[in-house]
């Protein structure tokens, strides 16, 4: 009997695709729609892809279009997408008492970007526990604000939904009317709770575990130090930029008092890191702020996290490599350690593939849609970075554009390099058996 042999990378890609397909079929059911009618395939596919890829781009309003059943389906898809296909599969296997074999461990290793097969099942258990603790803590904090507004039942439901959405960097909200968190622009509890969940979910489970078990900075791994440093720099730079550029913009920060301006600018700096919530109107940002947001969305979160983008460590590695070239050094060094050229080449490959994808889809949308270039670029980068921020053009996009963004979201979640390897590589780890003579060319 014919047996299809798949690499761990291919299993990972097909696993995400199967979850998306299942979610699409559920969202097409009349029970998923608040009005009680079936939803067309493309809109359901777009929503399911956006949820599983923890993006947050929507073609229909989540809070008003979908029923409670539909919203719960979306929340479960967000959870499955944020934790990852193999984490969910491992959880189900453990609940059924099944043994996790070598093949499953290889896929888990690929999904979590781990270097070793040792302790993967225990790591999955810790990830599940940490996720539950952070999401329940976020729910408790949000409940202190949502219950007084919406009542106990609705308040708890809203708190759970937005906590899950924030920790998984999804950006879906059920406030209604495409409002996101704009009604709470000055609410300190809601803002800092959401921002905290976004950052924790975005730094990656490996970093969370490293901090928990090796809390002293000297004991932290190089990966953790690089993630935390890059994340802090990006947040600080983004905050200062948005605070200064949007300070007098009458459509964004202008009407707010200074403390609220600072809070909104900080939120705007954090949310492009694949979160997707917004407390100010994205469509009213200046073009300079939109482009800065594009750069932050392109970077995204960190490896083995709930977010997308090229990842913080990829950006840091490329910048460190450029600095090494400018200084005339042969090695890329940071914190007393040397990065291998394999890591540098992998980082460059990811960045180039991502740039090619974003450029190609942006060209497609520019040809099909009657929108400004910056809004189209914003939409495409948001899809790739699995961010979910939008200038408001998503619901009006044509079928061609929606399908292009579906592919972009999927590529952004599984990773452009992972997807390319899954499609092109038949056997993992093939080494060059010989080397050609070396010769120089002129560059730059």
Residue with tokens 């909104």: 264
What does the pLDDT read at residue 443? 62
Give the Cα separation of 135 and 217 in Å (integer). Answer: 26
DSSP state of 394: G
Closest CA to 227 of 94, 75, 87, 334: 334
Q: Considering the domain boundaries, does residue 175 fall inside one? A: yes
Q: Considering the domain boundaries, does residue 440 fall inside one? A: no
What total of structural domains would you count in the chain? 1
- Residue range 123-147, pLDDT digits in tens: 777 888 888 999 999 999 999 999 9
DSSP line for 327-345: TT-SSEEETTEEE-HHHHH
Percent of the chain with pLDDT over 70: 83
Q: Rounded to whole angstroms, what are the CA distances from 443 to 317, 324, 351, 353, 389?
A: 20, 17, 19, 20, 37
Percent of the chain with pLDDT over 90: 59
Across the range 256-267, mean pLDDT stands at 97
Separation of CA 404 from chain center: 18
Does the pLDDT at position 293 exceed 80? Answer: yes
Q: Considering the domain boundaries, does residue 204 fall inside one? A: yes
Across the range 335-348, mean pLDDT stands at 90
Q: Which residues contact 286 (CB under 8 A, 6 or more apart)?
A: 245, 246, 249
Number of C-alpha atoms within 13 angstroms, CB side, residue 208?
26
DSSP state of 60: S
- Between the two ends of the chain, the Cα-to-Cα distance in Å is 55
- 364/437: higher pLDDT: 364
- Residue range 356-411, pLDDT digits in tens: 999 999 999 999 999 999 999 999 999 999 898 999 999 999 999 999 999 999 88
Does the pLDDT at position 246 exceed 70? Answer: yes
The β-bridge partners of 337 are: 334
Does the pLDDT at position 70 exceed 90? Answer: yes
Domain that holds residue 98: 8-423
What does the pLDDT read at residue 1? 36
The β-bridge partners of 339 are: 332
Out of 6-20, 21-35, 246-260, 425-439, pick the least confident. Answer: 425-439
Q: Which residues contact 184 (CB under 8 A, 6 or more apart)?
A: 145, 190, 191, 279
Q: Considering the domain boundaries, does residue 324 fall inside one? A: yes
- Residue range 72-88, pLDDT digits in tens: 999 999 988 887 645 65
Q: Considering the domain boundaries, does residue 176 fall inside one? A: yes
Separation of CA 342 from chain center: 25
Q: Considering the domain boundaries, does residue 280 fall inside one? A: yes
List the structure tokens of 342: 């394999």
Q: Rounded to whole angstroms, what are the CA distances from 286 to 245, 295, 379, 392?
A: 8, 14, 15, 15
CA 120-311-383 angle, 5° bins:
110
What is the number of other CB atoms lying within 10 angstroms of the CB of residue 343?
15
Closest CA to 425 of 1, 4, 2, 6: 6
Q: Considering the domain boundaries, does residue 260 fall inside one? A: yes
Q: Which helix (H) or strand (E) holds 104?
A: helix 102-112
Q: Which residues contact 23 (CB under 8 A, 6 or more apart)?
A: 47, 48, 51, 52, 73, 74, 77
Handedness of CA 421, 425, 429, 430 (dihedral sign): negative
What does the pLDDT read at residue 80? 86
Say if CB 268 and CB 194 are below 8 A apart. no
Residue with tokens 């073009």: 287
* Residue 46 pLDDT grade (very low, low, confident, very high; cuts 50, 70, 90): very high
What does the pLDDT read at residue 118? 58
Q: Considering the domain boundaries, does residue 12 fall inside one? A: yes
What does the pLDDT read at residue 214? 80
DSSP line for 182-247: GGGTT-HHHHHHHHHHHHHHHH-HHHHHHHHH--SGGGS-HHHHHHHHHHHHHHHHHHHHHHHHST
């Amino acid at each position: 009997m014919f047996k299809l042999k798949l690499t761990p990378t291919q299993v990972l890609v097909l696993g995400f695709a199967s979850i998306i397909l299942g979610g699409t079929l559920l969202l097409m059911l009349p029970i998923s729609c608040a009005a009680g009618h079936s939803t067309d395939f493309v809109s359901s596919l777009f929503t399911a892809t956006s949820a599983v890829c923890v993006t947050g781009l929507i073609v229909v309003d989540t809070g008003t279009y979908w029923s409670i059943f539909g919203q719960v389906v979306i929340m479960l898809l967000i959870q499955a997408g944020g934790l990852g296909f193999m984490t969910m599969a491992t959880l189900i296997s453990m609940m059924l008492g099944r043994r996790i074999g070598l093949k499953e461990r290889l896929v888990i290793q690929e999904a979590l970007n781990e270097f070793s097969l040792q302790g993967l099942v225990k790591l999955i258990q810790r990830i599940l526990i940490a996720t539950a603790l952070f999401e329940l803590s976020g729910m408790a904090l949000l409940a202190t604000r949502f219950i007084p507004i919406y009542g106990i039942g609705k308040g708890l439901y809203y708190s759970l939904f937005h906590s899950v959405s924030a920790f998984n960097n999804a950006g879906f909200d059920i406030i209604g009317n495409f409002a996101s968190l704009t009604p709470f622009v000055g609410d300190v509890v809601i803002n800092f709770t959401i921002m905290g969940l976004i950052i924790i979910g975005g730094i990656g489970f490996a970093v969370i575990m490293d901090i928990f078990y090796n809390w002293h900075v000297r004991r932290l791994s190089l990966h953790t130090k690089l993630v935390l440093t890059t994340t802090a720099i990006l947040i600080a730079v983004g905050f200062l930029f948005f605070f200064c550029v949007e300070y007098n913009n009458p459509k964004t920060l202008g009407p707010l008092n200074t403390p609220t301006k600072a809070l909104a600018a900080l939120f705007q700096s954090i949310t492009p890191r694949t979160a997707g919530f917004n407390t100010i109107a994205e469509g009213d940002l200046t073009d300079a702020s939109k482009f800065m947001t594009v750069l932050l969305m392109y970077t995204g979160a960190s490896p083995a996290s709930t977010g997308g983008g090229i990842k913080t460590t990829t950006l840091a590695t490329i910048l460190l490599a450029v600095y090494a070239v400018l200084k005339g050094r042969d090695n890329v060094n940071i914190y007393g350690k040397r990065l291998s050229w394999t890591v540098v080449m992998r980082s460059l490959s990811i960045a180039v593939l991502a740039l090619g994808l974003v450029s190609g889809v942006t060209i497609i949308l520019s040809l099909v849609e009657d929108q400004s270039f910056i809004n189209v670029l914003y939409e495409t980068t948001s899809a790739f970075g699995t961010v979910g921020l939008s200038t408001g053009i998503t619901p009006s996009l044509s079928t061609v554009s929606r399908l292009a963004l579906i592919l972009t979201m999927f590529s952004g979640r599984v990773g452009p390099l992972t997807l390319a390897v899954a499609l092109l590589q038949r056997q993992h780890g093939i080494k060059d058996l010989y080397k050609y003579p070396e010769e120089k060319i002129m560059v730059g």
